[in-house]
Structure formats: C-alpha cells, structure tokens
Amino acid sequence: MNCRVVVEAAVPVYDVETPDEAVRIAISKTGEMLNPDLNYVEISMGKRQCPHCGDDLDPAFLAADESLVALELEMTVFSVERDEHAARIARKEIGQRLENIPLDVLEIEEIEDEDEDEAESDAEDDATDDIDAETPAETTTDDEADTSHEDDVLPEFEELIDE
C-alpha cells in the first residue's frame, strides 16, 4: 500500500515585517533544509482557522518582527502496511532534516497503485482472451501440450549448455 502523508510544520522566522514575507522566507528556509535529500517533498502554506469563529487566518503569526509560520509538507510513502506506519516514516524522514521544528500529521490518504490496477486489468483481459480463443477443435490433452512445450524449450537450453 502506498500513502500520501501531509505533515504540518511550525517554522520560526526572524526579522520580518509582513506575514507574506514570513511565509516566503519560511518556505525557502524549509526547502533548503530538505534539499537535496528530500526534494520530493511538496511544501505549501498551511491553513489556520480562528478557534472561536472559524474564520480563516494567515498561515503566519507575526509578533515583534518574529513569526511562526504554518507549512504543510506532503510526501508519498511507498510499501507500507498501515496508515500509522506511513505517518511514522514521514515524520522521521522530514523530522531528521528539520531540527527543532515541531511536526504534526494532518492527513494520511491511501493511493491506488497504478501497477496493481494495470496488472489486474491485464490478467482479466488475458483470461477473457484465453476463453475466447479456445474452441473444441483446438483443445488438446495435457500430455500433448507438455510435449510441444518441451520441444520448444529444450533445444534452447541445450544450446546454452554447449556454449
């Protein structure tokens, strides 16, 4: 199973005057810490809401020329058994590069594996083709099928041994 994991990070930024400037600096700072090892992690502004009225707030809280910026870091984790496993992997990978920055898992979404979907549809197509192609006149016994298959494979094998 593959999962898309979204982690929220609280990134401190110093000597800023506006929330927009704080967000730009926080994204740049986070990108520098993650690259080149984790260049596949998507960085975007976080979403904050007022706890009392539910209004949307800026992702940056600014006070005394310092800011705390909420960023969302998104990565895909492959070959995991459970959602919790994917969350632990994402937090560990990102957390190792972002020292002293608190992380919180926001969302874990299972991703459909395209290879598995293609393999299943190919298997269904093959099964349908086999049923359609087989007619009573073409039906052979197991012994006849085994002999014809052995004749095709054995000469090639013997040629390899001779070389």
pTM (2 d.p.):
0.65
- pLDDT class of 39 with cuts at 50, 70, 90: confident
Half-sphere CA count of 85, side-chain side, radius 13 A: 10
Q: What pLDDT score does 134 carry?
A: 52
Calculate mean pLDDT across residues 60-74: 91
Report H helices in the chain.
19-34, 83-97, 114-133, 142-162
The top-level CATH class assigned to 2-111 is alpha beta
Q: Where are the domains of the chain?
A: 2-111, 114-162
Q: What is the per-residue pLDDT for 23? A: 92
Q: Which tens digits make up the pLDDT trace of 103-156?
A: 999 999 998 866 555 545 555 555 555 555 554 555 555 555 455 555 555 556
